[in-house]
A = this chain, B = another copy of it.
């Protein structure tokens, strides 16, 4: 039976638990491409949840591109190749890699508490006396650098974060841990840039190469900005793919 999959008591909403369980079945290849899931009513009964809750879980996975539903036919495991749903759900590079069970390494180029430039202060709604943690990292897959990140983090909201070893810990998880709040949303703007010299050194690419550039702003619940960053992505190595839907 599938019923012991979820815990009816508080910690995590049931629809998230159900989505996690389905995602795991897909990623571990227990459920293969094109497998038809049990009908919603049936599956809900097995899991001892209501159909509405199950539908909410399924819709998350449709959004991630892991499932497709066809009216009158059923729910199926999608034929998903490598996909980096960076543009779809607010997940970090680290989370995206982890979900795909890919290994990456992080090298910290710079980590320092600084007084922020005017532009950063505005974006993060900082008071004049607020400091920010400036973080500059390169991430590599199989020894090849693919992504360069420059983050500015509101230090008041994440006290002690300057002590973290970012070769071992991810920024998102540390920001949530230090602040005691959940990251809720973000804005990402995608542009194509010619790689500046300063960045080209770290990405092991010729200056002027076309790269994906992301401008990011991250919020806690309550629309409180806590982090802003510039990201340079080698789009020859790491493409951003989105599975999108119409309503």
Contact = CB atoms under 8 A, between A and B. Distances in A.
Contacts of A244: 87-90, 185-188
A80 to B, nearest CB: 10
A109 interface: no
A129 interface: no
User: Which residue, A19, A60, A233, A244, has most C-beta atoms of chain B within 10 A?
Assistant: A244
A247 interface: yes
A233 B189 CA distance: 14
A117 interface: no
A245 interface: yes
Interface string A219-230: 001110000000
A72 to B, nearest CB: 9
Interface stretch (A24-32, A36-44, A145-153, A235-243): A235-243
Identical subunits present: 2
Interface in A167-206: 182-194
Given A70-B223, A88-B87, A242 B192 contact: no
The bracket for how many chain A residues form the interface is 35 or more
B239 A189 contact: yes
Contacts of A188: 87, 241-242, 244
Contact of A183 (B89, B191, B246): B246
A223 B16 contact: no
A100 to B, nearest CB: 15
Nearest to A62: B185
A90 B185 contact: no
